[in-house]
Chain A
Amino acid sequence: MYNKGTIIPGLIIFVLFVTFPLWFNAFSTAASTVPKPELPPGGEKACIAPAAEMRANHMVMLNEWRDDVLRDGDRVAVTVDGKQYRKGLQMACMQCHSNKEKFCDSCHEYASVKPYCWDCHLTQSALATKKETH
């Protein structure tokens, strides 16, 4: 092989450079940035579906609830663990997952999705702001 002395070190440098993100991640000591959404502060364990399904499909379910309640007038309560909840983000989900900033936002920010739920729906922190001024 001609120019063995430059080609082989060059190749090694190239491979190292291309795989930099992989081995940097593997040896890095910095804390993982994968979000850890806060579990319900009230200690509730059961949700309306298993966690994996909720993680993947909660947005679909919220849309279905929205259409049930607003379009079809079907406001039948959902029962989880013997407790009844009215269908709705504010009425059901956020009764347990009360901290939007620590629960919803943790993943949404990581995944860079910006749902507009809370333009209208109220969070605990939004409710608290009005109590102070009142």
Chain B
Amino acid sequence: MDKQRRKFLKIAGATALAGISAPAVVKLTSTPALASSGHGKAAEHGAAEHKPEGHGGEDSAKGVRLGMLIDMRKLYGHPELLEKVAAACIKVHNIPQIEGNKNEIKWIWDMAYKNVFPEHSSYHSSKITEENNFLVLCNHCDEPPCVRVCPTKATFRDEKTGIVSMDFHRCIGCRFCMMGCPYGARSFNWMDPRPYIKEYNPDFPTRMRGVVEKCNFCGERRALGQEPACVEAVKDVGAIVFGDLNDPDSEIRQILDKEHTIQRKPSLGTKPSVFYIV
């Protein structure tokens, strides 16, 4: 009896020791790719992540990645064009017009330079940046934080187009994505939006109370071969260019190759797909 108890204690002790030390052994022997958080290409990103810019090199160019270029030079001094863009989006997507910072629903809107580009110095900035507002919308990031935090995958990155989409059917209204988004591009329907919609577009649904909404890069219009509503609204001045960022022959890439462009809050590493010429 005594002998057996002694044996049992020995085995139990050894097992406990093995169990406790197992995680440490796994950690020490695993490759760095496994240990780093799911970026896929850990080796390349490892180096790139410490650089100050948002896009760590050109390594991630594969598949279609739709993006937008906003040439603000063509919009300076024309606040009516900014309004036209917002109005076009509002009409196409049945966006309610609700007053107040908390309740308002925004897909594309305009803000002052210091709010749009807080990482860029606005000390002694030019008159033109001081006096003009800048168009802002969802950046359809390549590394979208909103997608990371969504518990139901209601918001997700569409692998075919690189667009950050919303599936309103799945949204439970937890608003994690609004916390995650560093650009404030998401709005929550605190109340039934229908009474606040001025005019219905019969080709698009409305939303219900309790879901988050944002720009969808006009998925429903692109399916019909149309351009996004905002692009179309300022077509005559050509202020917004839309296209595939990964296609070297696309119009947007030609301009990106030629002009100096900036992105919003690049240091966060979200890799926005919306570019600005200011």
Do B198 and A122 touch across chains, with their CB atoms under 8 A apart?
no
Interface string of A94-134 (1 = CB under 8 A from B): 00000000000000000000001001111000110010001
Given contacts A70-B167, A73-B158, A73-B161, contact A120 B205 (CB under 8 A): yes
State the CA gap A116–B171 with chains docked (Å).
13
Q: Which of B59-118 contact A (CB under 8 A)?
A: 94
Do A75 and B223 touch across chains, with their CB atoms under 8 A apart?
yes
Given contacts A73-B160, A90-B205, contact A122 B200 (CB under 8 A): yes
Residue numbers in A under 8 Å from B223 (CB-CB):
75, 86
Do A127 and B203 touch across chains, with their CB atoms under 8 A apart?
no
B197 at the interface (CB under 8 A from A): yes
B131 at the interface (CB under 8 A from A): no
- Shortest CB-to-CB span from A86 to chain B, Å, is 7
State the CA gap A66–B197 with chains docked (Å).
24
Do B198 and A70 touch across chains, with their CB atoms under 8 A apart?
no
* Tally of chain A residues near chain B (CB < 8 A): 18
Q: Which of B205-237 contact A (CB under 8 A)?
A: 205-208, 219-220, 223-224
Most chain A CB inside 10 Å of its own CB: which residue of B168, B198, B205, B219: B205
- B203: which of A70, A91, A119 is its contact (CB, 8 Å)? A91
State the CA gap A40–B205 with chains docked (Å).
22
Do B200 and A127 touch across chains, with their CB atoms under 8 A apart?
yes
B163 and chain A: residue at smallest CB distance: A73
State the CA gap A134–B94 with chains docked (Å).
14
Residue numbers in A under 8 Å from B169 (CB-CB):
66, 70
Residue numbers in B under 8 Å from A70 (CB-CB):
165, 167, 169
Residue numbers in A under 8 Å from B197 (CB-CB):
130
- B208: which of A86, A120, A126, A130 is its contact (CB, 8 Å)? A120
Residue numbers in B under 8 Å from A91 (CB-CB):
203
